[in-house]
Amino acid sequence: MLTQFFYTLRAAQLKVTVPEYLTLLEALQAKVIGAEGWASIDDFYHLARACLVKDETQFDKFDRAFAAYFKGVEMLTDFKTEVPLDWLKKTLDLELTPEQKAAIEKMGWDELMETLKQRLEEQQERHEGGSKWIGTGGTSPFGNGGFNPQGIRIGGKGGSKSAVKVWEQRAYRDYDDGVELGTRNIKVALRRLRRFAREGSELELDLDGTIHGTAANAGLLDIRMQPERHNKVKVLLLMDVGGTMDEHIHRVEELFSAVKAEFKHLEFYYFHNCVYDYVWKNNRRRYAEKLSTWDLIHKFNRDYKLIFVGDATMSPYEILQPGGSVETNNEEPGADWLQRLVNAFPHHAWINPEPQGVWQYRQSISLVQQIVRQRMFPLTLSGLESAMRLLSK
């Protein structure tokens, strides 16, 4: 059984060696897990990852290969207040007409939070298809699998993109900067933002200088060297990750690959939905190794070109409301932090992978456009060219 698991990992392009596989077998034989006669699939997952994966950047590939091999394995959500999993199991699909959806009233922020608190205190059993309790497949603002114009998703998968809070521990994966581009168009567009200068040690032949020097030296070869030409443009890249951005992973990875190839002076960080008081480099350690946004502003000079990459698709509360983040209780609105960033970096642009035709129907996109001074561009060839042309001024 585990031999095929080993080959599954190799097929997923993980650099797993035979000695590491033997180490895993020895650990199982020594009962590192299962000392009491049984072990959970979670125990085996952590043991296998510790034995087989040497580089934490490969964790996501391991996760996908593990899930593909051990079908049906899911990591359970860890809620701070326990909500029975049976309440959150979706067994029916809700279908509403546009008229029925329009008739559903949405709660305000304060009412939504207070009502959730009451539901948690009062509810004693599973509900499905209703309009009040925490459940699935209904029009209640609490639960998953139904429809409400503004609610709190608890467990399950999103769909309507209208949740103002998401109650679950979510793992995002870093964008892969090694994606092979199927086209060079993105790189060509990014090259509009270039300013070359010769710097560093003299490693490159100066052909013109060599010719002139040889001619001036009566034909005796006079080889001249010069520093290589490098793009001196400095780029600070802030990328939205997780949630609705999952729909755009491939295109963003293409952009990320191109940016890393084109710009020597590049710094990048992640955020989720909207920038708040911190950003991070590694999604698996986003709570342990985060960088204060204030420190980010003070760390990089104003000559950096700031590029946001995100769909700006979220609840307006996430931008305007203290505590509006779906994951944290932010003390200041996201709008304040975005405003500080655009003030600190006057050369900025926002690249949006969402089709430009839907922008006018998303209140959050309109809000972000106002904050970034209408410097939002679609993730298309013409959009990138326009953004780079603006940043090069």
Residue 97 has pLDDT above 60, yes or no: no
Residue 319 has pLDDT above 90, yes or no: yes
Where are the chain's structural domains? Answer: 2-69, 85-167, 185-192+232-391, 198-230
Q: What is the pLDDT of residue 31?
A: 83
- CB contact at 8 A, 138 and 100: no
Rounded to 5 degrees, φ, ψ at 375 are: -95, 50
Q: Which range has the top average pLDDT, 75-79, 141-145, 195-199? A: 141-145
What the block records as the tokens of 185 is 């168009």
With 0.75 as the threshold, say if the pTM is over it. Answer: no
Q: What is the pLDDT of residue 363?
A: 92
Mean pLDDT confidence for 36-57: 80
Q: What is the pLDDT of residue 374?
A: 95
Quote the CA–CA distance of 370 and 275 in Å, as a whole number: 15
Beta bridge partners of 226: 204
Cα dist. 98→95, 103, 152 in Å? 10, 9, 21
The long-range contacts involving 330-339, CB below 8 angstroms and separated by at least 24 positions, are 330/276, 330/277, 331/277, 332/276, 332/277, 334/273, 334/274, 334/275, 334/276, 335/367, 335/371, 337/274, 337/275, 337/276, 337/277, 337/293, 338/274, 338/275, 338/368, 338/371, 338/372, 339/371
Residue 93 has a CB neighbour count (10 Å cut-off) of: 9
Q: What is the pLDDT of residue 326?
A: 81
Higher pLDDT, 367 or 118: 367
157-185: pLDDT as tens digits: 555 554 545 544 555 666 665 544 444 67
195-211: pLDDT as tens digits: 544 455 566 677 888 88
At the top level of CATH, the class of 185-192+232-391 is alpha beta
State whether residue 205 is helix, strand or coil.
strand
- CB contact at 8 A, 136 and 145: yes
- Provide the residue type at 10 as one letter: R
Q: Which range has the top average pLDDT, 135-149, 204-218, 370-384? A: 370-384
Quote the CA–CA distance of 173 and 220 in Å, as a whole number: 59
Q: What is the pLDDT of residue 72?
A: 42
Q: What is the pLDDT of residue 132?
A: 56
Q: What is the pLDDT of residue 167?
A: 45
What the block records as the tokens of 46 is 């952590």
Nearest C-alpha neighbor of 87 from the set 145, 122, 128:
128
Mean pLDDT confidence for 6-24: 86
